[in-house]
Structure 1
Amino acid sequence: MPKHLLPTTVVGSYPQPDWLVDRAMLSKVVPRTRMHAMWRPPEEHLEEAQDDATIVAIRDMERAGIDIVTDGEIRRESYSNRFATALEGIDIDNPAIITARSGQSTPVPRVVGAVRRTRPVELRDMQFLRRNTAHAAKITLPGPFTMSQQAKNEYYADDEELAMAFAAAVNEEALDLQSAGADVIQLDEPWVRNNPEVAKRYAVKAINRALRGITVPTVVHLCFGYAAVVPGSTKPAGYSFLAELADTSADQISIEAAQPRLDLGVLKELSSKTILLGVLDLGNPEIETVEIVADRIRQGLKYVAPERLVPAPDCGMKYMPRAIAFGKLKAMADAAAIVRGELG
């Protein structure tokens, strides 16, 4: 792990190449069920193509100067669906349809039996990442609360019971990922702010169950949604579920702050945690100047001690053009170096 102040990282995803995925199809939705048609290579060549694209993503992060890299989530159609649909108890052939308040209909996994992890899902991904970088390596998993909110429960007595079953499956996976060399393990839990009243009942309990026995640094990430899918004008200026994460066993909390212009005073409520601060606005198609990003880091330092601040993008970068994503990451790495120098 980096020893210097203000180590930079990514939230998880990096843009998948156009030769690998149909980006027009991808841009329409954040899939909850599998979307096999998104992949361009035929099945017999898909794994090799994904491996090659993963190496490209890793090298881009390294060239940009990122300290803690991921595999770019290149093998995933979304941050959550690959893991969620690999579990026993999920009917992947007959999804349910839920209608959001916006009126949009989305296919989601149907839970028809006991949720169990019967095989590793991301283990090879972590092994591949570890073989292909000497940098600190982070891997991400969908959080149990979020997965329970993205599924149709047709088996468990209530959604809390479902969330705890997902938590047990995530924990088994996380323990394997830790053994495979993960330096950091992150849970993506954006839905805690979608349904804060329900989250207050059992989200922390589920997150803590998912992280049981993990000894490497752990992160909980929450955001307001991909900038390509959720316009910045609709994003709130504050989180409805944030201070509660102080009670999680996670070492670090990752938040979106740049695009929604978050009031960073809320970070005082997480004084026991390291903060992954979103300093890259992914809704802005322009590459921020180094000075703009440096100033966002300085603003964070008004509320968080330097040893507890990790500059990061607001969210995953998969929906962005690759050249823009790379430029933003380089600006962030350069900005962190400048502010690090100011700290002495």
Structure 2
Amino acid sequence: MSDGVAGRERFRPADHPHDHFLLTTVVGSYPKPAWLTDVRERHEADGDAVGDDEWQEAIDDASRLITDEHERAGLDAVCDGEMRREEMVEFFARRIGGYEFKGPVKVWGHNYFDKPSVVSEVTYEEPWLREEYEFTAGVADRPVKVPITGPYTLATWSFDEVYDDDAALTYALADLINEEVSRLVEAGARYVQLDEPALATAPEDHAVVGECLERIVDGIPDDVRVCLHVCYGDYGEIYPAINDYPIDEFDVELANGDYEQIDVFADGDFAPDLALGVVDAHTPTVEPVAEIEANIREGLTVVPPEKLTVSPDCGLKILPREAAYAKLENMVRAARNVEADLDSGELDAAALRTSDRP
């Protein structure tokens, strides 16, 4: 895959004010406008009240709105906040041949998950995200990032009635994702993120995920930036194995844990770029700019500035929209402030990486 510097310079805006560049982006999901949820419910309850054309217009309007919101916050790479998606496994399972839905499963408290079942060999029947990407890229002024649920999570969070073991299903899904990424690349996508939250619950399968990544990137051009997002869990269980993954960027959730695990990556051998969560996706409290600047400096203890990406911990969809936007706006402002300090020499990144942590 592409080297970190060449891969990220593509995302530097032409009017970027500083010599240093910390790539700012989002993980994926974002709060949906209340009116979109209302229109969805009326469309699903009564197609005559809200027809397919009206529903499509509502989705497009929401996508346009949130993409613009990300750009107004100042992000360097944006997405539409997954306005066309409801749930990270269900969305893809409904588009993959071989899946069926047999009813909701209770997961915790009074919450239910429409857990899919694999009832025949999985097949690629139609593009999953090309419409989403092409629309977003068409309305965006900044580069567009495409999040995709990874094969390990798709397999682990499904019932399997066909394959001999989870690994066989996971590899089959990886081959389908390779096809999807190829279609996205044909459409112009150059920044793809694979979401694997399930890996955190079963770190012993890191070799399976590594093999899946090899399958996914097979034949993908070197100029496509590939990110792996793993939220929560013990990162020490999968590092340094991730150094061997064919990825350009590893995205981690550490703000929520006050950076207790940052030392996991501080051995000086961390290979991919680090995409560091610097605002907490689990609380509506908006972090002050100064606090986010301190969080960014935590990342600079592990990697140099040219290998640091700044993002929220995870998707922001559970937050009030006003809080989500304020977090992004402060995050971008903090990144630009840190860049200015690096340019002036007030902040010595090399010294941060060599200093003893308290």
Normalised by the shorter chain, which TM-score bucket?
0.7 to 0.9
Matches within 5 A, 1:259-298: 259-262=256-259, 263-268=261-266, 271-298=270-297
* Equivalent residues of 1:14, 1:318 under 8 A apart: yes
Q: What secondary structure does 1:317 align onto? A: coil
CA RMSD of aligned residues (A): 2.4
* Equivalent residues of 1:15, 1:321 under 8 A apart: yes
- State the Cα distance separating 1:174 from its structure 2 match: 0.6
Q: Which amino acid aligns with 1:137?
A: V
| Structure 1, unaligned runs of 5 or more | 26-34, 225-235
Q: Which residue of 2 aligns with 1:181?
A: 188
What is the CA–CA distance in structure 1 between the aligned matches of 2:331 and 2:110, rounded to whole Å?
Answer: 37
| Cα pair distance change 1:61/1:288, threshold 3 Å | same
Q: Which residue of 2 aligns with 1:229?
A: none
* Equivalent residues of 1:138, 1:185 under 8 A apart: yes
Q: What secondary structure does 2:134 align onto? A: helix
* Equivalent residues of 1:193, 1:239 under 8 A apart: no
Q: Which residue of 1 aligns with 2:28?
A: 12
- State the Cα distance separating 1:239 from its structure 2 match: 5.2
> Residues 92-133 of structure 1: CA distance to partner in whole angstroms, max 9, x if unpaired?
3x2574x66989764311101110111111111111111111
| Identity %, equivalent residues | 34
Matches within 5 A, 1:1-344: 1-3=10-12, 4-21=20-37, 42-92=51-101, 94-95=102-103, 97=105, 106-197=113-204, 199-215=205-221, 216-224=224-232, 240-262=237-259, 263-268=261-266, 271-344=270-343
Q: Which residue of 1 aligns with 2:353?
A: none
* Equivalent residues of 1:237, 1:260 under 8 A apart: no
* Equivalent residues of 1:95, 1:110 under 8 A apart: no
TM-score, length basis structure 2: 0.83
Runs (4+) of structure 1 moved beyond 4 Å? 39-42, 99-105, 236-239
What is the CA–CA distance in structure 2 between the aligned matches of 1:239 and 1:281, rounded to whole Å?
Answer: 21
* Equivalent residues of 2:274, 2:299 under 8 A apart: no
> Residues 199-242 of structure 1: CA distance to partner in whole angstroms, max 9, x if unpaired?
23412111221222223000000113xxxxxxxxxxx6755334
Q: Which has the larger radius of gyration?
A: 2
Q: Which residue of 2 aligns with 1:232?
A: none
- State the Cα distance separating 1:178 from its structure 2 match: 1.2
Q: Which amino acid aligns with 1:334?
A: R
What is the CA–CA distance in structure 1 between the aligned matches of 2:334 and 2:207, rounded to whole Å?
Answer: 39
| Cα pair distance change 1:8/1:201, threshold 3 Å | closer
| Structure 2, unaligned runs of 5 or more | 1-9, 13-19, 344-358
Q: Which amino acid aligns with 1:301?
A: L
What is the CA–CA distance in structure 2 between the aligned matches of 1:245 and 1:282, rounded to whole Å?
Answer: 24
* Equivalent residues of 2:266, 2:301 under 8 A apart: no
| Cα pair distance change 1:22/1:245, threshold 3 Å | farther
- State the Cα distance separating 1:42 from its structure 2 match: 4.8
What is the CA–CA distance in structure 2 between the aligned matches of 1:309 and 1:201, rounded to whole Å?
Answer: 25
Q: What secondary structure does 1:136 align onto? A: coil
| Cα pair distance change 1:251/1:237, threshold 3 Å | closer
* Equivalent residues of 2:292, 2:334 under 8 A apart: yes
Q: Which has the higher helix share?
A: 2
**Paired positions, count:** 319
Q: What secondary structure does 1:83 align onto? A: helix
Q: Which residue of 2 aligns with 1:30?
A: none
Q: Which amino acid aligns with 2:290?
A: E
Q: Which amino acid aligns with 1:5?
A: F
Pick which of 3-12 and 168-177 moved more. 3-12
> Residues 261-294 of structure 1: CA distance to partner in whole angstroms, max 9, x if unpaired?
2321112366210111000012232211111101
